[in-house]
Structure 1
Amino acid sequence: MESRRSEILSLVHQHGELPVAELSKLLGVSEVTVRSDLKALAEAGQVRRARGSVRPPLELRRESPLEQTRHEHSAAKRRIGRAAAALVRDGETVFLDVGSTTTEVARALSPTLQGVTVVTNGLNIALELERLSGVRVIVTGGTLRPLQHSLVSPYALDVLKHIHADRLFLGCNGVHPEHGVTNANHEEAEVKRLMVAQAREVVVVADHSKLGQVSRAHIAPIGGVTTLITNRRGPEPPAELDGALREMCLV
């Protein structure tokens, strides 16, 4: 039993989330046995149970450096980035949040855009946008977080309070029907929340691994999201999430 539970922990940590049915097949035991093991592991705080599946506890999903996350689901992030960038129109003011997927949005912006203002708290994103002659880039300022090349308080919020954007492209670590959009870092979440408040439309860009997940810091309720752009690869988005969103774009 102990060996089986150790194997369950190993599989959950490796995959992030696994259906009970799949665990049953991988371990060669009944779903009843798996559920019994999961009950014991959840009570010990080693896993989190969800409807028909199991996930790691929140504290095990630590924030990773941008240089690492950009290689995770990279093809999906490029497709999401292209779909998001296609929404930007001449003359708009856009908030572009930090993260590996929002970086792909910056890379996919059309060189023919004119009169666009992009406000970002990501230093790497600002550098990506230097190539676009028709895009004016405003960097928020603030305290540097090297892990994500992001700028946070103090001072980052001061700039955002004076700007209203047509659209926000928001990165995150989790999108959940009940717990909303969440992030791994509280300082960044503070900046993201103000961006949400100052934007007319909120476009969440998140690959399928973020769907149904909950991270440490709350950003916005699902009702505050205008559109979710995600990828088709992997399991279908949770039905509860699909029903809660105003619009979901699968690429």
Structure 2
Amino acid sequence: MVDDSAHPDADAPRDREIIPAAVRRERIERLVDERGFVRVSELRTTFGISGVTARADLDALEAAGALTRVHGGAMPVQRGRTQGAVREQSFEESLESSVIPKQQIGALAASLVQSGQSIILDVGTTTLAIARALAERTELTDVVIITNGLSIALELEPTIPRFTVIVTGGSLRPLQHSLVEPLAATILGSVHADIAFIGCNGVDAARGVTNINLPEAGVKTLMLAAAQRAIVVAEGSKLGQAHLGTVGPLGAFDTLVTDAAAPASQLDLLREAGLRVIQPE
């Protein structure tokens, strides 16, 4: 396959610098992993290349198994597909991917919390970003945070006594450092929080909010019942996806907080289904 990077087409912006194709593609791969989704138009602007070259780069990276091509751009590859299933990533693997989308979601979600409120923070790296954003809001006081995530509890430890941190208890899942049944329902069944921030692996207009792991999905359902208001937090790459464990129908949630690169077509479907959407401008 001939690299067309040396043959700019009519839609190419002026090159700011000449970057070898191999180096450029390595940078593109890092960018996709960091952002969770990158458009062809962004690559043109960032690297000063033509649309043809950007698409050729993405095609080459997909052929190498480095990313997944989608309409208008690319997203990180879904690892571990076997017989139609998707392998559940560990907490550490998830922490290294889609850093910017998670930071965007974390800041937006944290901005919805007020002093004196009680909130439930589900396990996950996106909700960990919410915890970090809450900790940075030094004006917040008297916030009670209930979580089943050990990593989240440790992240929030420095906020005590400004925040009260309650861990649900339950059986430990090492893959996510999460607490699930049995015993997780003991705490969740005896509280009524103002807001529950719930993560997931899929948000679909027809199938609702779902998760890969059944024990995790079960605790998320308990969180739904324990809060006055439920907010699902999900990167754009998870929209339109559906997995084994049902967390709840779309109607059980009043808001979706997602990132700036979330696909507009999926957001339109979710809005039509009655879900409020918040994302960076």
TM-score between the two structures when normalised by the length of structure 1: 0.77
* Unaligned segments of structure 1, at least 5 residues: 1-6, 23-55
The answer on whether the counterparts of 2:195 and 2:231 sit within 8 Å (CA) in structure 1 is yes
The answer on whether the counterparts of 1:112 and 1:134 sit within 8 Å (CA) in structure 2 is no
The answer on whether the counterparts of 1:58 and 1:216 sit within 8 Å (CA) in structure 2 is no
Query: Per the alignment, do residues 16 and 183 of structure 1 end up closer, same or farther by CA in structure 2, a change over 3 Å counting?
Result: farther
Question: 1:1-251 residue pairs with structure 2 within 5 A?
Answer: 15=67, 18-19=70-71, 59-109=84-134, 110-132=137-159, 133-233=161-261, 235-238=263-266, 239-251=268-280
Please give the alpha-carbon distance, in whole angstroms, between the structure 1 residues aligned to 2:206 and 2:109.
24
1:90-110 per-residue CA deviation (whole Å, 9 max, x = no partner) reads 111100000010000000002
Please give the alpha-carbon distance, in whole angstroms, between the structure 2 residues aligned to 1:215 and 1:14.
23
Please give the alpha-carbon distance, in whole angstroms, between the structure 1 residues aligned to 2:231 and 2:260.
17
Please give the alpha-carbon distance, in whole angstroms, between the structure 2 residues aligned to 1:176 and 1:59.
18
Q: Does the residue aligned with 1:60 lie in a helix, a strand or coil? A: coil
The amino acid across from 1:64 in the alignment is Q
- The root-mean-square deviation of aligned C-alpha atoms, in Å, is 2.4
The amino acid across from 2:269 in the alignment is E
Deviates more, 1:64-73 or 1:117-126: 64-73
In the TM superposition, residue 163 of structure 1 has moved relative to its aligned partner by 0.3
Moved over 6 A (4+): none
Please give the alpha-carbon distance, in whole angstroms, between the structure 2 residues aligned to 1:205 and 1:87.
12
Query: In terms of Rg, which structure is larger?
Result: 2
In the TM superposition, residue 58 of structure 1 has moved relative to its aligned partner by 8.1
Please give the alpha-carbon distance, in whole angstroms, between the structure 1 residues aligned to 2:260 and 2:83.
25
Query: Per the alignment, do residues 171 and 74 of structure 1 end up closer, same or farther by CA in structure 2, a change over 3 Å counting?
Result: same
The amino acid across from 2:230 in the alignment is V
In the TM superposition, residue 234 of structure 1 has moved relative to its aligned partner by 5.2
Query: Per the alignment, do residues 191 and 218 of structure 1 end up closer, same or farther by CA in structure 2, a change over 3 Å counting?
Result: same
The amino acid across from 2:105 in the alignment is I
1:83-135 per-residue CA deviation (whole Å, 9 max, x = no partner) reads 10111111111000000100000000023321111000000000011111310
In the TM superposition, residue 15 of structure 1 has moved relative to its aligned partner by 4.9
The amino acid across from 1:240 in the alignment is L
The answer on whether the counterparts of 1:208 and 1:237 sit within 8 Å (CA) in structure 2 is no
Query: Per the alignment, do residues 16 and 177 of structure 1 end up closer, same or farther by CA in structure 2, a change over 3 Å counting?
Result: farther
The answer on whether the counterparts of 1:93 and 1:167 sit within 8 Å (CA) in structure 2 is yes
The answer on whether the counterparts of 1:58 and 1:215 sit within 8 Å (CA) in structure 2 is no
TM-score between the two structures when normalised by the length of structure 2: 0.69
Query: Per the alignment, do residues 248 and 162 of structure 1 end up closer, same or farther by CA in structure 2, a change over 3 Å counting?
Result: same
The answer on whether the counterparts of 1:91 and 1:114 sit within 8 Å (CA) in structure 2 is yes
The amino acid across from 1:149 in the alignment is H
Query: Per the alignment, do residues 194 and 65 of structure 1 end up closer, same or farther by CA in structure 2, a change over 3 Å counting?
Result: same
The amino acid across from 1:69 in the alignment is S
Q: Give me the identity figure in percent.
A: 43
